[in-house]
Structure 1
Amino acid sequence: MTVRRGTNLDRVGGFNDAVVLDAIRRSEQLSRVELAEVTGLSGQAISNIARRLLDAGLVREAGRQRSAGLGKPRTLLELEPTGQYAVGVHLDPAVVTVVLLDLTGDVVARRRVDTPYADDPDVLIAGIAATIEDVMTLAAAPRDRVVGVGIAAPGPIDAERGFVVDPPNLAAWHLVPIRDELHERTGLPVLLDKDVTAAASAEKWAGGGGSFVFFYLGTGVGAGLVIGDEVVRGSSSNVGEIGHVIVDPDGPVCYCGRRGCVGEASQPRYLVQQAVRAGVLASGIDLDDRKAVDAAFARLCSLAAADPGPAREIVAALAVRIAKVVEDIANLLDLERVVFGGPHWERLAPLFGDAVRAALDGRFLVRSVHPFEVAGTALGVDVGAIGAASLVLDQTFSPNPSVLLQSRELVADR
């Protein structure tokens, strides 16, 4: 990934501080001389910024580096993990995950709780607020160093007003002002983004830049996009609504009225139903009971991984349906890879990756120019929550180009 360059113009201290912090984050340790080289800032500017960041407790000195010549060893700077913390909340219709990240992006505390069956927004938001307090207490994180809360929620969302609008698998959630409600309960600044966008941000934050699609496999499906190292959000921050792409004209009837939408055809409920009909699972499973369906889905995935047969065929057919959507997105946007993740990925991973590779083989149209990779997230089931927290930390590390633009205009007007 490309390191942003600073400017030696006046009145852009905040911008340059972020440039330096981001450079240190990407390289883990840098000397002041190296910082000047990678950021384009003068030695004096780097000295001033380093002093401010040290005084603020955001960086620390990390030993000395021998210089190539006869000069004295250079002092290395690295992030101070306890300098800031950020909370990440991933709201999935089946489970709520809350994590606390330190300034380096490491998870220092986590909690996962089942989403209440009734989906009552007030009950759920109160539970999330209590869980946030739990993770901060668990990590012994000083409250004044917790810079905010990021929420990753299923779409569609109204990012400007902070509303969750009408997620298909949370029936009671209509225009729920989750951002303001959580701010009132916690007293912390709150950001709201889509779950798939947050997950894609987490992959980018962890060093996975370039151009890729993050394919989310949970109670629903979705696609987060990163193109040219930049997270793509769309005009209303609702990019990635792929649930109604038709992948099987003879598939199940979706709530939209059509057959074979990938979202409906990927639901654990539908897959369990298929397994019961094929004799893979015993009949009598209550398809309206989330826990029962989840347990049955876990059993189906275990059977599919263990031996060839009907269970594996059901999972392989799911992989083919998903691959059709990935193929269309990858060819349309000329992507480099797909990264799978979400609450159901770990169960599907033993067979899913190879099955998707096989289904995509020969169908990526520019394969003679560059390959298309299939990978699973390295961040585990917490990827959505980690992404939500990384959105908060991004406020510290990501320079705002409008600050630089405004400063240039001020200089030009003198």
Structure 2
Amino acid sequence: MRLGTNLPAVGGYNQKVILDVIRRTSGGLSRVELAEATGLSAQTVSNVSRKLLADGLIREAGTTTDGGVGKPRTILQLEARGRFAVGVHLDPSVITLVVLDLAGSVVAHSRMPAPSAVSSEETIDRIAEAVESLIAGSGVSRDRIVGVGVAAPGPVDLGRGIMLNPPLLSGWQSVPLRDALLARLALPVLVEKDVTAAAVAELWMGDADARGNFAFFYYGTGTGMGVVLNGEVIRGASGNAGDIGHILVTSGGELCSCGRRGCLGNVILPRLLVTEWIGRSAATPTDLELDVEAVHREFAALAALAEAGDHAARSVLEATAAHIATGLVAIINLLDLDRVVFGGPFWHPVSAFLLGLIPGLVADSPALVAPHAVAFEESGIGEDVAAVGAACLVLDNTFSPRPDTLLLSPSVRS
């Protein structure tokens, strides 16, 4: 938990500290409890609370005496509908949009196929139209929207909001996504790598004690990993941390785009798993055209049959579990993680089957050196986690306390 400071020059930071503490406490807190939790003086808490109330970010929710005989204390709670953010996930196969309130609840949602036969500019036009339509249909006043977050496949230039060269999106090289949407929407726009956005979602939704050290294993059209260490998302030198697709996990498999065989992202690619399963099974025509919808449909069928005991389906997913476990052992060893969270558009259908195998495979690996237990769990946010994370990113950027905002610029230092 961030502590505040009583210096008068950092009122904005203290507002975020208090709002963050209130947001993460479901029942709310009194001003006395806020002072104890943040280290701020009673006067500072009172002043900040007054400002947050006036801004509509918190509300007074009754009183309590805490079992004592003194003056009743007023409870302050988050005003969840005080502000909202829009999240967009640009996946190579589907574009997902959400409107999120301050409590992290999805108040509006839409999804559309990612058009493959049109230019990036036309797709951006469609995204902007979808954002406007979603806001209009949500019942949320546009002046309460603090911004739009876009989760996009990497690599990205975070500073300029540019998609550089996403391997699974043709025609999206050096696309100025942030500025293009900003011009169309007239709302603040942030662009983030999709796996990082997913990790941000877990941080925003989790309580203060659950943030720790974990990895978010993202399973969509491609594979990636968001990493959180000591409660902070790790972005790396250019904001492109988390590309785990080329970790070698086997000596065979289809030829990867990098020219090698056995890359994690390639051997567990949903399209390739479906193709492999069709080749082993007589249940599906081998000449089936695997467009985006067919891959989703057949992948769900593969997962259901594996759960039902189908030999061909089980063998495909058992190999997938082994490959993922091999990659995770290397990552857990490297970062000393104690938790792995799984999610993404393709994760849920196979979650029960794979989570029944992966923990044991990791624990039994002779390569594992971690001296502690590692927890494995499916994200509770659902398959739209990257879109939710993109919206959380906007809320986090706007309302979460960041110590670096306290640094004085050279012109201010004495």
TM bracket, shorter-chain basis: over 0.9
Aligned to 2:267: 265
SS of corresponding position for 1:351 = helix
Report 1:3-402 matches (<5 A). Answer: 3-28=1-26, 29-118=28-117, 120-207=119-206, 208-280=210-282, 281-287=284-290, 289-363=291-365, 365-366=368-369, 369-402=371-404
How far is 1:237 from its partner? Answer: 0.4
Q: 1:408 to 1:257 in 2, by over 3 A?
A: closer
Structure 1 range deviating more: 202-211 or 213-222: 202-211
On the 8 A contact 1:250/1:259 being kept in 2, the answer is: yes
How far is 1:361 from its partner? Answer: 2.2
**CA-atom RMSD in angstroms:** 1.7
On the 8 A contact 1:286/1:293 being kept in 2, the answer is: no
On the 8 A contact 1:93/1:219 being kept in 2, the answer is: yes
What is the alpha-carbon distance in structure 2 between the residues aligned to residue 273 and residue 283 of structure 1? Answer: 8
SS of corresponding position for 1:141 = coil
How far is 1:395 from its partner? Answer: 2.2
Q: 1:246 to 1:403 in 2, by over 3 A?
A: closer
- 1:41 partner amino acid: L
Q: Extract unaligned runs of 5+ from structure 1.
A: none
Deviations 1:14-61 (A, max 9, x none): 111111111111113111001111111111111111111111111110
- 1:225 partner amino acid: V
Identical aligned residues as a percent: 49
On the 8 A contact 1:12/1:407 being kept in 2, the answer is: no
What is the alpha-carbon distance in structure 2 between the residues aligned to residue 119 and residue 66 of structure 1? Answer: 63
What is the alpha-carbon distance in structure 2 between the residues aligned to residue 305 and residue 403 of structure 1? Answer: 50
What is the alpha-carbon distance in structure 2 between the residues aligned to residue 403 and residue 282 of structure 1? Answer: 59
SS of corresponding position for 2:408 = helix
How far is 1:308 from its partner? Answer: 4.0
- 2:388 partner amino acid: I
- 2:16 partner amino acid: A
What is the alpha-carbon distance in structure 2 between the residues aligned to residue 72 and residue 409 of structure 1? Answer: 47
On the 8 A contact 1:60/1:79 being kept in 2, the answer is: yes
What is the alpha-carbon distance in structure 1 between the residues aligned to residue 196 and residue 286 of structure 2? Answer: 38
What is the alpha-carbon distance in structure 2 between the residues aligned to residue 118 and residue 385 of structure 1? Answer: 23
SS of corresponding position for 1:57 = coil
Q: 1:323 to 1:119 in 2, by over 3 A?
A: farther
TM (norm. structure 2) is 0.95
How far is 1:409 from its partner? Answer: 10
Deviations 1:312-331 (A, max 9, x none): 11011111111111110001
SS of corresponding position for 1:104 = coil
On the 8 A contact 2:329/2:368 being kept in 1, the answer is: no
Deviations 1:99-145 (A, max 9, x none): 01111111111111111122521121111111111221222111111
How far is 1:283 from its partner? Answer: 1.0
Deviations 1:271-297 (A, max 9, x none): 12211221253211124x222222222
Deviations 1:245-302 (A, max 9, x none): 1222211001121112111111122112211221253211124x22222222222122
Deviations 1:308-351 (A, max 9, x none): 41111101111111111111000111100111100001111120
SS of corresponding position for 1:12 = helix
What is the alpha-carbon distance in structure 2 between the residues aligned to residue 6 and residue 350 of structure 1? Answer: 42
Q: 1:129 to 1:163 in 2, by over 3 A?
A: same
Q: Extract unaligned runs of 5+ from structure 2.
A: none
SS of corresponding position for 1:403 = helix
What is the alpha-carbon distance in structure 2 between the residues aligned to residue 158 and residue 408 of structure 1? Answer: 26
On the 8 A contact 1:285/1:293 being kept in 2, the answer is: no
SS of corresponding position for 2:37 = helix
How many pairs align? 408
What is the alpha-carbon distance in structure 1 between the residues aligned to residue 299 and residue 238 of structure 2? Answer: 34
On the 8 A contact 1:119/1:173 being kept in 2, the answer is: no
Structure 1 range deviating more: 107-116 or 134-143: 134-143
Q: 1:189 to 1:284 in 2, by over 3 A?
A: same
- 1:92 partner amino acid: D
What is the alpha-carbon distance in structure 2 between the residues aligned to residue 283 and residue 399 of structure 1? Answer: 54
TM (norm. structure 1) is 0.95
- 2:13 partner amino acid: F
Structure 1 range deviating more: 228-237 or 350-359: 350-359
